[in-house]
Structure 1
Amino acid sequence: MNLLLAATLAAPPVWWALAPWVAADRFTGAAALLSAALLYPLLEELSFRGLLQGWLLDRLGGWHRYGGISLPNLLTSLAFSGAHLATQPVLWAAAMVVPSLVFGHLRERHGSVLPPMALHIYYNSGLILFVELAQ
Structure 2
Amino acid sequence: MAVFHRAGHEQVNVFDVDGIYLFKHYFEGEEVFARLKQYYNNQQYRFEVSPEDFDEIQAFLDTHGYGLVLVDALDLFVVVVRKYTAHPDNIFKKSVIQRSVDDYNCFLMVDQVAVVQAVYEGATRLTDTNLKNPF
TM-score in terms of structure 1 length: 0.23
Name the structure where strand makes up a greater proportion of residues.
Answer: 2
Higher helix share: 1
More contact order relative to length (CA 8 Å, sep ≥ 6) = 1
